[in-house]
Amino acid sequence: MLSAPLVIGASFAYLLLLFGVAHFGDRRARQGRSVIGNAWVYALSMGVYCSAWTYFGSIGRAASLGVWFLPIYLGPTLAMVLAWTVLRKMIRISRSYRITSIADFIASRYGKSRLLAALVTLIAVVGILPYVALQLKAIASGYALLTTAPGAPPAAVGAWWHDSTLYVALALAGFTIAFGTRHLDTTERHEGMVAAIAFESVIKLLAFLAVGAFVTWGVFDGPAEIFARGRDVPDIDKLLRLEQDAPFAYAQWFTQMLLAMLSVIVLPRQFQMMVVENVDERHVKRAAWVFPLYMLAINVFVLPIALGGLLHFGIGGANPDTFVLSLPLAVGQQALALVAFIGGLSAATGMVIVEAIAISTMVCNDLVMPWLLRKPGFGSAAGSDLSGMLLGIRRTVIVALLLLGYLYFRVAGEAYALVSIGLISFAAVAQFAPALLAGMYWKGGTRAGALAGMAAGFALWTYTLMLPSLAKSGWWPDAFLGPGPFGVELLKPEQLLGLSGLDGLTHSLFWSLLVNAGLYVAVSLWRSPSAREAGQALLFVDVFERSSSSASGSGPVFWRGRAKVPDLLALAGRFLGLEAAQRVFVDYAKRVGVARVEQIPPDAQLVQFVETQLAGAIGSASARVMVASVVEEEQLALDDVMRILDEASQLRAYSHALEEKSLSLERATAELRAANEQLKSLDRLKDDFVSSVTHELRTPLTSIRALAELMLEDAGMDAVQRQQFLAIVVGETERLTRLVNQVLDMAKIESGHAEWRNAEVDLRALLEQAAQTTSEMFRERGATLVLNMPPQVRALHADPDRLTQVLLNLLSNAAKFVPHEGGRVEVRLSADEAGVTVEVQDNGPGVPPEQQQVVFEKFRQGGDALDRPQGTGLGLPISRQIVEHFGGRMWLRCEPGQGACFGFMLPWSSTQAEQA
Amino acid sequence: MGVSAAVRMERGYRREFRGAKETAMFEGLAAQRLLALFALGWLMLNFPLISLWDRRVSVLGIPLLPAALFVVWAALIALVAWVVERGED
């Protein structure tokens, strides 16, 4: 046993630590260095799902039902599998329309209905109250266990002012107020609170794992021993099987998974943490597996602790709900018991804080404000700043909620095991699911449908689950349970219409969800939605299509009428505080591109903006009413909604078209730039060409001029000398002529203006003719020319003159480069399927590798500049142009010591030859 | 060559466009994978498949039924982690 001051001191020290964490989180947020802008923190903050109910109740459940503690965690795991699809959409919707609670979400979807918001809030409060009581009960019983001597009778329940649970409730209320309602934020985000919740998630997990490890390896000798010993006790052995005393209730298993799956989305505290407090929707990805992993980790030791407790205390020897405390105490580990208690306290406070903040927002915005606003004079009074009052209402609600929870605990708390209370709460909030989930994907759902479905579902929940549970705990006459009310058998709450064979929870959930969803669909289909409902439905269902454009302010706004900026500013000032409102308006003015607040155009966009800002503070339904009270608006018909939507989508289409256009413009610019580059490089090439040509022209011209001047000045030059000079002049002139001809030829071919006279060509004949023409040249150089041709070659369709030009060029080139003695040139002609190939092989020095690449370029002659033979440097380029014109290709093969081998291939048919 | 430059550029744009499309496709693919895992999870963690593990057998000293439930649960979490964390490109 521990001393009471020690336990209380440790508890308060822990709460102060939590507060320190929250303070740190808030300070970092103000400095713009958020600690919660992190997927891990987001995932951990979802751990608020695991309340004291998990911490203590799971073991109690496992100790009596075996693996039945699992569906409560398997369901949320499955829900998180779809988080990226469903939860992300909820986050996007809430972010876009400043939705701050689940009541606001549902009400906003169905035309910002105040009635619906009030109904959701009511269900949430009634459903959650037992759950809050459960947390108080867990703390109270844990405290009692720690501070009571073992074996001593439980302390008698004293007068309420002696009851420590009351003070726990009040402390928690004070704490929640400090966390959640210090200032008014239009986004209802609480960074410090999220940091504290993530922290407490870590603490409760570590504490639970510490106890689990201690029980498994400290008290027993590992899990194998616990299970082996459990197997020997028949009552424990059956916990490890599905079929216990009765056949396995698979319908109940399925129901609990489904229930938990829905709850993890629709519980007000889960909505608060997962949707409202989300900083970045990409964090959902990480949370989709980290949160399930967290639940798995916190459940790993449940069975070992439960079985260990049963083995240690004997069945019925101690309350299994508190095994996590009583086992360490029983073996004298008081410090560990205190750690375990802190873990449980952590789980309970986390749940209470978040739930109370969420509920207080809902009650304030959706129950109290609408009632206040309806009071005559309140809404339109040119009144003072109401933001302080809003905070006051929320604080009152928090205190009231915890006191009600305490009351429930005092009255009904002892009657039920922890887990049953939790499941009853789950079944209540599950009534939100049809309207919430269907509303995000089906545009046809209407306010009347949602109201009818939810109200009927809630009524059935009350009748088939809540009342029987109250009756069983003894403070409601249970006479109606047995024979049915007024003796009507068919109305028996736990066997409605005679449906039997299901347990109470499954039975209730089946009826309530069936009627809920059925009425929702049926009533929705009764008539077509009103303009406002249709508008909201579009905004919700197509949020991913619209939110990108609404960021730029061009989303559809279903509003028409007249407004004045000062009126709207004054309205915003009343609920947000004057300073905050001024700031918000200045920002808006900047966004729409005007200098001063007075210049803001008082259009539908502005009205929408103000309404969204107000929605963050007082809920969308109240915001709608308040805005309507200061502007003159026209009633919209369904046609108008459609027209506004059309206009918006036209706008979107325009902007899309504009985007396309600018993209294609960009593309055109890039193309132009590339073309320009091309032109520049062509220009450079042309300059190079001109300078090469002029250089080639100048060399012969210089020598002609020099010789002519010599002859002019020296009148007495002897005839032989003169004759020699004149011969050189003639030779140089011929070279000039050849050069000019070739340049012209080249230019013609390149520009495509060359004339091609195609005919059937016999290459053998052409080659023989070319050999004939060049034979004198070869003889002069003492070289031999060998023709190596097949006896017959198919005729080719080409220009014979041009081909002759190519052949002559190759032959004369070869002749130029063969050695002075023993020169040998071999011409090979071969034909195959594809075409005909001609190769001219010499035994000259060959072409060095670095020059092989350039011999086909203009004015790049082979050989050294000093000893190279005469030539224009255009022969090979022209030859190649000709060959390529006929679809062939030309190459140079050069093996060291083998001389050079120029060759070309012409295909039998080429498109170009055909065209020509 | 002016034309070929334009063609090159055009290819570049097409590639970019295809890239964007692939990202969108991945989004769709990941969402479909998650939907399939959702169905798989419901099947594996529900009647009648869980009754397959309901035998009086132990694995490393742990009774088969809880061991199998935890293993299936862990595997489902691992698969989800694989799908969502493998990046968009």
pLDDT for res B87:
58
pLDDT for res B16:
45
Which SS3 state, helix, strand or coil, does residue A891 take? strand
Q: Which of A547-551, A727-731, A893-897, B46-50 has the lowest mean pLDDT?
A: A547-551
Look-up of token digits 């052995």? A237
Alpha-carbon distance A527 to A86, whole Å? 28
pLDDT for res A249:
82
Q: Partners of A836 in the beta sheet? A: A831, A906
State the DSSP code for A69: G
Alpha-carbon distance A13 to A7, whole Å? 10
8 Å CB contact between A678 and B1: yes
B65 with A67: Cβ contact below 8 A: yes
Residue A384 has pLDDT above 70, yes or no: no
Residue A656 has pLDDT above 80, yes or no: no
Residue A522 has pLDDT above 90, yes or no: yes
Dihedral of the alpha carbons of A202, A207, A208, A212, in degrees to the nearest 10: 130
pLDDT in tens, A768-789: 888 888 888 888 888 888 888 8
Residue B40 has pLDDT above 90, yes or no: yes
State the DSSP code for A528: P
> Using alpha carbons only, how large is chain B's radius of gyration in Å?
23
B54 with A67: Cβ contact below 8 A: no
Average pLDDT over residues A292-315: 91
pLDDT in tens, A61-110: 888 888 888 999 999 999 999 998 899 999 988 888 888 889 989 998 99
8 Å CB contact between A793 and A812: no
pLDDT for res A914:
44
- Is the link from the previous residue into A71 a cis peptide, with omega within 30 of 0? no
CA angle (A391 as vertex; A389, A392 as ends), nearest 5: 60
Backbone angles phi, psi at A906, to 5 degrees: -120, 130
pLDDT in tens, A620-644: 777 887 887 777 777 666 666 666 6
pLDDT for res B2:
43
User: Residue B81: its chain A contacts at CB < 8 A?
Assistant: 288-289, 293
Q: Does A685 touch chain B (CB under 8 A)?
A: no
pLDDT in tens, A690-732: 887 787 788 788 888 888 888 888 888 888 888 888 888 888 8
CA angle (A828 as vertex; A827, A830 as ends), nearest 5: 155
pLDDT for res A149:
67
Strands B62-63 and A889-894, bridge-based pairing? unpaired
Q: Which of A134, A163, A164 is nearest to A414 (CA)?
A: A134
Which SS3 state, helix, strand or coil, does residue A907 take? strand
Give A476 to chain B, closest Cα distance, Å: 37
pTM here is: 0.69
Give A293 to chain B, closest Cα distance, Å: 7
Alpha-carbon distance A402 to A408, whole Å? 10
8 Å CB contact between A763 and A839: no
pLDDT band at A516 (very low <50, low <70, confident <90, very high): very high
B9 with A667: Cβ contact below 8 A: yes
B55: left (phi over 0), alpha (psi -120 to 50) or beta: beta
pLDDT for res B59:
84
Q: Partners of A892 in the beta sheet? A: A902
Alpha-carbon distance A491 to A635, whole Å? 45
Contacts 24+ apart (CB under 8 A), A312-320: A312/A219, A315/A233, A315/A235, A315/A236, A319/A60, A319/A141, A320/A59, A320/A60, A320/A62, A320/A63, A320/A64
- Is the link from the previous residue into A791 a cis peptide, with omega within 30 of 0? no
What does each C-alpha distance from A902 to A807, A843, A905 come to in angstroms? 10, 12, 11
Alpha-carbon distance B41 to A260, whole Å? 14
**Average model confidence (pLDDT) across chain A:** 82
pLDDT band at A915 (very low <50, low <70, confident <90, very high): very low
Give B22 to chain A, closest Cα distance, Å: 18
Paired tokens of A338: 């205190």
Q: Which residue does chain A place closest to B47, by CA atoms?
A: A250
pLDDT band at A176 (very low <50, low <70, confident <90, very high): confident
Contacting residues for A376 by C-beta, under 8 A, at least 6 apart: none
Contacting residues for A736 by C-beta, under 8 A, at least 6 apart: A697, A700, A701
Paired tokens of A109: 């979807």
Residue B25 has pLDDT above 70, yes or no: no
B41 with A78: Cβ contact below 8 A: yes
Q: Does A77 touch chain B (CB under 8 A)?
A: yes
Alpha-carbon distance A404 to A411, whole Å? 10
pLDDT in tens, A547-576: 544 444 445 677 777 778 888 888 888 777
Nearest-by-Cβ selection for A74 from B10, B45, B54: B45
Residue A414 has pLDDT above 70, yes or no: no
Amino acid found at A402: L
Q: b/e for A94-123, b at 16 or more Cβ within 10 A?
A: bbbbbbbbbbbbbbbbbbbbbbbbbbbbbb
Paired tokens of A824: 């040998």
pLDDT in tens, A194-253: 889 999 999 999 999 999 999 999 888 888 888 888 888 888 888 888 877 777 788 888
Nearest-by-Cβ selection for B66 from A222, A296, A303: A303
pLDDT for res A554:
47
Contacting residues for A712 by C-beta, under 8 A, at least 6 apart: none
Residue A561: alpha-carbon gap to chain centroid? 38
Share of chain A above pLDDT 90, in %: 19
pLDDT in tens, A852-881: 777 777 766 554 444 445 566 778 888 888
Sign of the CA dihedral running A348, A353, A359, A360:
positive
Average pLDDT over residues A164-186: 78
8 Å CB contact between A556 and A644: yes
pLDDT in tens, A738-749: 888 888 887 887
